[in-house]
Amino acid sequence: MRVLTAAQMREADRITIQDLGIPSLVLMENAGRQVVAAIEAMFPNLAMRRVAVLAGHGNNGGDGFVIARTLLERVLDVSVFVIGPLAEVRGDARHNLEVLGRLGASVVEIGDEQAWELHFSEISTCDLIVDAIFGTGLKRALDGMYPTIVGDLNGSGIPVVAVDVPSGLLADTHEVQGEAVRAAVTVTLAAPKICHILPPAQRVCGDLVVADIGIPGVVIEQIDGPHVEVITRDAIRSVLEPRDPEAHKGEFGRVLIVAGSMGKSGAAHLAAMAALRSGAGLVTVATPRSVQPILAAMAPEYMTIGLPEDADGQVIPDGIERVLAASADVIAMGPGLGTGEGVRAFVHGVVERAGVPIVLDADALNAFAGEHAQRLAGRDGHDVIITPHPGEMARLLGISTEQVQQDRLTAARTFAEQHQLHVVLKGHRTLVAAPEGSVAINMTGNPGMATGGTGDVLTGVIAGWFGQLLDAEGAARLGVYLHGHAGDLAMADLGEAALTASDLLTYLGDAVLELAAERKPGDDEDE
């Protein structure tokens, strides 16, 4: 599902109206009626509720007038309040305002703060408020009487349904600049916007409903500009392919996990088991010699290779040839390796000489921090996926963690484009950025996954699917979705506080089963 900027949304409107010939009044009518459908679905006993519709001057207000008229058709008790002078309502919004007038609806003008104070007592007796004041066109924080209006709405305790964007939010940013309506439900039109998807703005949107107002999907997909999308169940399900009954283990990828050091064998084990739980045919763990017997005793399903090590039990450059000689379709490297100079040289050597795709996490990423970041790049026939948390991303970019968190989209996209690799920026709403600049946002996962080892599991999950799909972007998207979904299933049974990384391994199979079960008969007929 594509996520649009305000400018892209305007262009989608323009193409639909001017090029396809669908009148703007039709789109406004569709928008209003879709919002009413969402209200009816989410608020039972609607006929018993009093509704206040707060409308602005522009198209968002016009949507509000259609909503009011449609609710009145249901014989509801509806009051309409125009925020600002009625004379400033123009275009399609004016048309729908006049229709309301001809139907005998009461429309109250609120031109200043005094008028708001006078009429808020009436609004505060309602059971539901529709916020149709501002849409995607707002470009700055609210001023004048609007902060007072928003503050009163938020303090009223009355559920608010926001049309397109809660008033006060800016469509193109995840930040909340000044006062913003805290909606119970936001019905966004045609496509979600950044403010709906990324926190903290996402938190004030409430439940999100994406309404089809008649703009064809092909128009939305072909709009120029930044390509941001949400990873949906339907889209990611198409990546899964049923296994051939005559298939053998060699067809599902040979994954080499280069991980672990003395005291950190668990990281290597979690990554290896995650690759196996993700369907990898063969998994081998390359680890320091002193760690090899520990790992070999932890699970019988994967093989092990002992690597030369230093006095601290960390890998050294002498092990590069051993890794490169191993039979693998994909290499995953980093969990628990350590941060010594020998580790750095070892990682650089493997990455620069490997002839197969590679997934880098944790200490393998720290090996490229600061001035070494320029040595990290993908190339033709050698896809690279990196899976940093915000701190690791900051070290790669040479900025602070706070700066990364202020604009995660830009951080992930910039590094992916500049280094021609795939970035999986972990955290709430994990991002998957591709070398050409597209970014996908993952919606699965929960705070219970904020515990040691879950990142190691993600490394193994992505590597396991990478070995099967041989598609970096597809593996990264599928990996983050299933990793988060496994966490959600574990949380549902165990709660957030008790969740551990090993629990994700237990629930990965269930996550895949649920996703595969969503495939409809005939999904593969045209393939």
CATH number at residue 389: 3.40.1190.20
Domain range enclosing 290: 245-480
Neighbours of 395 (CB within 10 A): 20
Interatomic CA distance for residues 472 and 330, integer angstroms: 10
Interatomic CA distance for residues 519 and 291, integer angstroms: 42
Interatomic CA distance for residues 285 and 306, integer angstroms: 9
Strand segments (E) across 47-175: 50-55, 77-83, 107-110, 128-132, 160-163
Q: Is residue 100 in a domain?
A: yes
| Both structure tokens of 320 | 């590069």
Backbone angles phi, psi at 238, to 5 degrees: -70, -15
β-bridge mates for residue 230, sequence order: 441
Does 474 lie in the same domain as 425?
yes
In sequence order, which residues have a C-beta less than 8 Å from that of residue 293 and are 6 or more positions away?
none
Does 249 lie in the same domain as 170?
no
pLDDT score at 521: 44
Does 121 lie in the same domain as 208?
yes
Does 122 lie in the same domain as 189?
yes
Interatomic CA distance for residues 72 and 60, integer angstroms: 18
Does 125 lie in the same domain as 16?
yes
Does 446 lie in the same domain as 398?
yes
- Under 8 Å between Cβ of 423 and 416: yes
Q: Is residue 497 in a domain?
A: no
Interatomic CA distance for residues 261 and 273, integer angstroms: 17
Q: Is residue 492 in a domain?
A: no
- Please return the burial class of 21, using the count of CB atoms within 10 Å of its CB with bins 0-12, 13-18 and 19+: exposed
Q: DSSP letter at 193?
A: B
Q: Is residue 423 in a domain?
A: yes
Alpha-carbon 122 to chain mean position: 39
Q: Is residue 508 in a domain?
A: no
Does 330 lie in the same domain as 205?
no
Q: DSSP letter at 175?
A: S
Residue written as token pair 């449609």: 70
Region of 381 (left: φ > 0; alpha: ψ -120 to 50; beta: rest) is left
Q: Is residue 421 in a domain?
A: yes
How many residues in the chain?
527
Backbone angles phi, psi at 163, to 5 degrees: -95, 115
| Strand pairing report for 128-132 and 303-307 | unpaired
Does 274 lie in the same domain as 209?
no
* Distances from the Cα of 246 to the Cα of 242, 250, 251, 280, 517, angstroms: 12, 12, 10, 16, 21
Does 211 lie in the same domain as 276?
no
- Under 8 Å between Cβ of 84 and 57: yes
Neighbours of 97 (CB within 10 A): 24
CA angle, 191 as apex, 189 and 194 as ends, to 5°?
110
CA angle, 75 as apex, 69 and 80 as ends, to 5°?
40
Q: What is the pLDDT along the chain (527 residues), one digit of tens a residue?
A: 999 999 999 999 999 999 999 999 999 999 999 999 999 999 988 888 999 999 999 999 999 999 999 999 987 899 999 999 999 999 999 999 999 999 989 899 999 999 999 999 999 999 999 999 998 989 999 999 999 999 999 999 999 999 999 999 999 999 999 999 999 999 999 999 999 999 999 999 999 999 999 999 999 999 999 999 999 999 999 888 888 899 999 999 999 999 999 999 999 999 999 999 999 999 999 999 999 999 999 999 999 999 999 999 999 999 999 999 999 999 999 999 999 999 999 999 999 999 999 999 999 999 999 999 999 999 887 899 999 999 999 999 999 999 999 999 999 999 999 999 999 999 999 999 999 999 999 999 999 999 999 999 999 999 999 999 999 999 999 999 999 999 999 999 999 999 999 999 999 999 999 998 855 444 544 43
Does 198 lie in the same domain as 282?
no
Angle at which helices 265-277 and 454-469 pack, to 10 degrees?
40
Interatomic CA distance for residues 403 and 407, integer angstroms: 7
- Under 8 Å between Cβ of 6 and 189: no
Q: Is residue 521 in a domain?
A: no
| Both structure tokens of 131 | 């916020």
CATH number at residue 39: 3.40.50.10260
Does 311 lie in the same domain as 213?
no
Number of domains making up the chain: 2
Does 108 lie in the same domain as 206?
yes
| Strand pairing report for 185-189 and 228-230 | unpaired
Domain boundary among 194, 225, 256: 225
Q: Is residue 54 in a domain?
A: yes
Which strands sit side by side in the sheet containing 128-132, from one edge to the other? 107-110, 77-83, 50-55, 128-132, 160-163, 185-189, 207-211
- Under 8 Å between Cβ of 285 and 332: no
